[in-house]
Chain A
């Protein structure tokens, strides 16, 4: 079953990976010509008119976008977080539900396999593909940066790993939510909603102290890019929170799926 799941989800993985790589390829090709030194000065001037909290929300107070690595640290990794987040959400919402919407669960459900094993196998596949897409994007950007000039390699590697922490949680939350419905269309909207609402909450939480508590409701809090840029390290608490959170949602999914009416 593992090999079959690997094959079934390979096509979508390829599409997401290729589209993301094309996006960053364009950035690497176009960015140097946009960022001539005079334009960089103009952008720096323009940045000064933004409120400090706004700049902080996009990490623009601690990185300059006058080079491609600076852009990656401020905006690039936001894209990466959202892209991998969306991929994880859609994967999580589809990977179990597809069997039901395609009607193949009536066959799979009567085979000698425990429902818990179905959930576990599909979860492993999900985690595998999320890890691989993150690694491929990271490697591609690493090569791009190597060709574009000097950058902090250790910091970049840690930054590239960071999206995994939020993406795993998003995957398992969507996997869990998918056990409440039989319709993939409905879940597609919900999974994208989870990602964008989560990102919005994270951004809002960094704008003012009064709404800082919102970060506890956002998966993206776990991918603390700002901390990696400042300290060149990943907060261990976030790693533990991501692992425990994922594990809890995996258990909840298994319990729910065991009770679910499959047809």
Chain B
């Protein structure tokens, strides 16, 4: 698979305060990479460092194998960015702003523009200052997508969008993915990750603690287990379990072992019943968040 973006040892300190530390990941052509973490974990710092809006303390970012510097205009033309808080020139109309945007690109994107405006139900004659939060986000989406970028960096893209437009937005994303566009998708909304992302990176306190394909994360990471046995005490002591509930010879616990490993570990006990249920993606993420 073709590597599109490589982030190597990215570290950012704000004076003495850590933003992110030793962030390493690679994005491949045509994948949607989810990037999640609690508030202040370093998601926006990572994005802004990649885009050179802030200075990296150390590390490098390669886009299509070349250093992504502030002044590499050819590479910048291939990136679409949607910030979490869309702030645009309030004195312009939507039409004027898209016109302004397209002047920075050499090709004619009028068809794509027309399509996006229509699909997102935008009124081009409205002034930016008169737009609601959701409509402002829609303008941001048009600006990020309209020039046919090869890399889309989206920070909280669906906040403020109504469910219908959200669905239209997911459709747009999947179409972009089909075309081979790489999408870096930073969000708080955990359900979105399992719905659209291929892989996910979890960032916490400035450190990227896990990168996994979504499927593996769900399969491997966490299960909820309920065991009914006369040997409950022994099981708890031997396996050092994170017990959720314990009564009447029945224990419930969070399990971080693979299922066959767990079965091997408990086979020596007298087990009446065992029930293993997969955790939801939200539960998995919450486990890493805490």
Give per-residue flags for A27-63: 1 if the beta carbon is below 8 A from chain B beta carbons, else 0. Answer: 0000000000000000000000000000000000000
Instruction: Evaluate contact between A115 and B53: CB separation under 8 angstroms.
Output: no
Assess A110 versus B79: contact at CB under 8 Å? Given A103-B85, A103-B87: yes
Instruction: Evaluate contact between B54 and A112: CB separation under 8 angstroms.
Output: no
A114 at the interface (CB under 8 A from B): yes
Which secondary structure dominates chain A's binding surface?
loop
User: Chain B residues with Cβ under 8 A from A259's Cβ?
Assistant: 55
Which of A106, A115, A261 contacts B83 (CB under 8 A)?
A: A106
Assess A106 versus B91: contact at CB under 8 Å? Given A258-B70, A263-B53: no
User: Chain B residues with Cβ under 8 A from A114's Cβ?
Assistant: 70-71, 73
B interface, size bucket? 20 to 34
Tell me the minimal C-beta distance from B275 to chain A in angstroms.
Answer: 50
> Which residues 1-33 of A sit at the B interface, judged by CB distance below 8 A?
1, 4, 7-8
B215 at the interface (CB under 8 A from A): no
B170 at the interface (CB under 8 A from A): no
A189 at the interface (CB under 8 A from B): no
B51 at the interface (CB under 8 A from A): yes
Assess A8 versus B83: contact at CB under 8 Å? Given A107-B143, A110-B51, A111-B104: no
Assess A107 versus B87: contact at CB under 8 Å? Given A4-B100, A112-B77, A114-B70: yes
In the complex, residue of chain A having the shortest beta-carbon distance to the beta carbon of B77: A112
B287 at the interface (CB under 8 A from A): no
User: Chain A residues with Cβ under 8 A from B70's Cβ?
Assistant: 114-115, 258
Number of A-B contacts (CB under 8 A): 59
Task: Please report the C-alpha to C-alpha distance between residue A7 and residue B74 in the assembled complex, in whole angstroms.
Answer: 28
Instruction: Evaluate contact between A106 and B73: CB separation under 8 angstroms.
Output: no
Instruction: Evaluate contact between B104 and A112: CB separation under 8 angstroms.
Output: yes
Task: Please report the C-alpha to C-alpha distance between residue A103 and residue B74 in the assembled complex, in whole angstroms.
Answer: 24
In the complex, residue of chain B having the shortest beta-carbon distance to the beta carbon of A114: B71
A127 at the interface (CB under 8 A from B): no
B81 at the interface (CB under 8 A from A): yes
Which secondary structure dominates chain B's binding surface?
loop
Instruction: Evaluate contact between B51 and A109: CB separation under 8 angstroms.
Output: yes
User: Chain A residues with Cβ under 8 A from B73's Cβ?
Assistant: 112-114
Task: Please report the C-alpha to C-alpha distance between residue A113 and residue B143 in the assembled complex, in whole angstroms.
Answer: 15
> Which residues 72-108 of B sit at the A interface, judged by CB distance below 8 A?
73-74, 76-77, 79, 81, 83, 85-92, 100-101, 103-105
B126 at the interface (CB under 8 A from A): no
Tell me the minimal C-beta distance from A238 to chain B in angstroms.
Answer: 36
User: Chain A residues with Cβ under 8 A from B89's Cβ?
Assistant: 4, 8, 104
User: Chain B residues with Cβ under 8 A from A116's Cβ?
Assistant: 71
Give per-residue flags for A83-106: 1 if the beta carbon is below 8 A from chain B beta carbons, else 0. Answer: 000000000000000000011111
B118 at the interface (CB under 8 A from A): no
User: Chain A residues with Cβ under 8 A from B51's Cβ?
Assistant: 109-110
| Sample of 13 A–B contacts (CB below 8 Å) | A103-B87, A104-B89, A106-B87, A107-B86, A109-B53, A111-B76, A111-B104, A112-B76, A113-B73, A114-B73, A115-B71, A261-B54, A263-B48
Binding site for A on B (CB under 8 A): 48, 51-55, 70-71, 73-74, 76-77, 79, 81, 83, 85-92, 100-101, 103-105, 143
Binding site for B on A (CB under 8 A): 1, 4, 7-8, 102-107, 109-116, 258-259, 261-263
